Chain A
Amino acid sequence: MPAPIIKVDAISKSFGSFKVLDGLSMQVMPGEKLALIGPSGSGKTTILRILMTLEKIDGGHIQVDGEQLYHMERNGQLLPADERHLARMRQKIGMVFQLFNLFPHKCVMDNVTLAPMLTKRVARAAAEKRAMELLDMVGLADKAKAMPAQLSGGQKQRVAIARALALSPKIMLFDEVTSALDPELVEEVLNVMRKLAAETDMTMLLVTHEMGFAHDFADRVLFFDRGRIVEEGKPDEIFRHPKQERTQSFLKKIIAAGHRV
């Protein structure tokens, strides 16, 4: 059995007096597609943000691809990671945000090529060639010269996915990537993710309220509540036969709210 690509060990994190993550531990295998579900404030987005180094941790350890994320091993000692270590670790991880976070002053092409050219010193021609392949994959090859403001939400999100992919991360984090979209635009983004899952062996972690998609897409589902993983298992187990009472009541509420499972 291969080693896990992500190993989260007893992570705690508070915002003020609110404990978002309470000794959270989890492991993700290489290539695994993971869905993180749960009520808001349960810590599922926070763990993604922590993996992307957008939040600091209060305690615990995280290993990504065999290396400590927030610590550096120096002479057998674990020291807090410096900016250089973090920059090296971030190369392994990409993230797509709920609100796209495209650069509004740059055209689609420049959004996608900026980071490879700056962080990996890829030449412009090579970066643009790769960007066109990615834009083609997300179905937006004809929008390369468009500005973000000229795109629909679904198109923006597909650009954001291409932008993250341009750095060829081993792990992709998707933080409620369809929550801000009009209902009719959700499917075009989900289709891109299905394609991505089918065509690559990237590890993908996905925070979502799209239970139907989580069911079809994920190898494993984690149910978060109050900073802990309450229940985890195969999609069928979690969605059809949840064991924990809290999972059951959450799913009931979600279905009552009109989400299909």
Chain B
Amino acid sequence: MTQWSGYLGLILQGAIVTIELTLMGSVLALIMAFLAGMGRVSRFVILRAIATVYIEFFRGTSIFVQLFWAYFVLPFAGLSLTPLQAGVLALGLNVGAYAAEVVRGAILSVGREQYEACTALNLGRWQGMRHVILPQALLVMLPTFGNNAIELLKATSVVSLISLADLTFQAQVVRSQTGSTLMPFVSVLVIYFALALIISWGVRTLERRMARGLDGVRV
């Protein structure tokens, strides 16, 4: 039984890496989502074009391929990343592309009358966006952002392919060292599920807090 606790320690180390990846990847994804999502609704053609290309490219190619590019191909362009950096970059850009469409959809879901109130009060485009549209759109984005974050968490397992010792990687290590399949795979299953639950719960709490006072307004 004592050796199991040692192996469990390995798996927990992997869990730490997975959590780091998830957090940092989510931050990058969030930044990309807002940049690209607002780019998509910009009145400038060039911004719309850049955002569209980014979104279509990163949604349209596999995250494996993106990760391999970040880790194995970028060095040829003189940019060598650590496995963690490559992982965060690929995950953030990939999930950010999906979340960008969430941002765009949420912005467009805010009623026309809110935009008209902004015009009537002479708010500039950015002022209206910042103080009126985005705060309301954020509430619409949150549930899907939660989905995206869970997707990102699960997608972190691909980094084991570039030898980053995340949860999945460590499970493989334990499996090959002990010959036991059940224990490591049950552990990682439980840990992934627990992490996903924490994300769901966190997003729901945030949602409830933000919706306070808006009763009857939410669609």
A→B interface (CB under 8 Å): 52-54, 87, 90-91, 94-95, 97, 99, 101-105, 107, 114-115, 118-119, 147-150, 163-164, 167
Question: Which residues on B are within 8 Å of A, measured CB to CB?
Answer: 113-114, 116-117, 119-124, 127, 131-132, 135-136, 139, 213-217
Whether B213 and A149, one on each chain, are in contact in the complex, defined by CB atoms closer than 8 angstroms, is yes
Asked whether A149 lies within 8 Å of B123 as measured between CB atoms, the reply is no
Q: Assess the B116–A104 pair: CB atoms within 8 A.
A: no
Are A105 and B214 in contact (CB-based, < 8 A)? yes
Point out the residues of chain A lying under 8 angstroms from B119, CB to CB.
52-54, 90
CA of A150 to CA of B121 in the docked complex: distance in angstroms? Answer: 23
Tell whether, in the assembled complex, residue B122 and residue A87 are in contact, meaning their CB atoms are under 8 Å apart.
Answer: yes
Q: Is the beta-carbon distance between A163 and B113 smaller than 8 angstroms? A: no
Most buried by A among B127, B213, B214: B213
Contact B213 A115 (CB under 8 A): no
Question: Residue of A at shortest CB range from B135?
Answer: A105
Please name all residues of chain A whose beta carbon is closer than 8 Å to the beta carbon of B114 when the two chains form the complex. 101, 103
Contacts of A105 in B (CB 8 A): 135-136, 139, 213-214
User: Of B120, B135, B136, B213, which one neighbours A52 at CB under 8 angstroms?
Assistant: B120
**With A53-B119, A91-B122, A101-B117 as given contacts, are A114 and B131 in contact (CB-CB < 8 Å)?**
yes
B contact residues around A87 at 8 Å (CB)? 122, 124
Asked whether A119 and B121 contact (CB < 8 A) given A147-B213, A149-B214, A149-B216, the answer is: yes
State whether B116 touches A54 (Cβ < 8 A): yes
> A118 — which chain B residues lie within 8 A by C-beta?
123-124, 127, 131
**Given A52-B119, A54-B119, A90-B122, A104:B113 Cβ within 8 A:** no
Question: Do A104 and B121 contact each other (CB < 8 Å), given the known contacts A99-B113, A118-B127, A118-B131?
Answer: no
Among B113, B131, B132, B215, contact of A97 (Cβ-Cβ < 8 Å) = B113
Given A101-B117, A105-B139, A150-B213, 10 extra CB contacts under 8 A: A90-B119, A90-B120, A103-B117, A105-B135, A105-B136, A114-B123, A118-B123, A147-B214, A149-B217, A167-B121
Given the contacts A99-B113, A101-B113, A115 and B214 also touching, CB distance less than 8 Å: no
Residue of B nearest to A98 (CB): B113
- CB neighbours of A149 from chain B (8 A): 213-217
Chain B residues whose C-beta falls within 8 Å of the C-beta of A114 in the assembled complex: 121, 123, 131-132
Q: A103-B132, A104-B217, A149-B214 are in contact. Are A119 and B117 (CB under 8 A)?
A: no
- A94→B217 CA distance, assembly (Å): 25
Complex interface: chain A residues within 8 A of B215 (CB):
149-150
Q: List 9 A-B contacts (CB under 8 A).
A: A54-B116, A97-B116, A101-B116, A104-B136, A115-B122, A150-B213, A150-B215, A164-B121, A167-B122
A122 nearest CB across to chain B (Å): 13
Complex alpha-carbon distance, A114 and B136, angstroms = 15
Bound complex: CA A54 to CA B112 (Å): 11
B207 CB, nearest partner CB in chain A, Å: 13
Give the 10 A-B CB pairs with smallest separation, nearest first: A115-B121, A101-B117, A147-B213, A104-B217, A95-B120, A90-B122, A101-B113, A149-B216, A105-B135, A119-B122
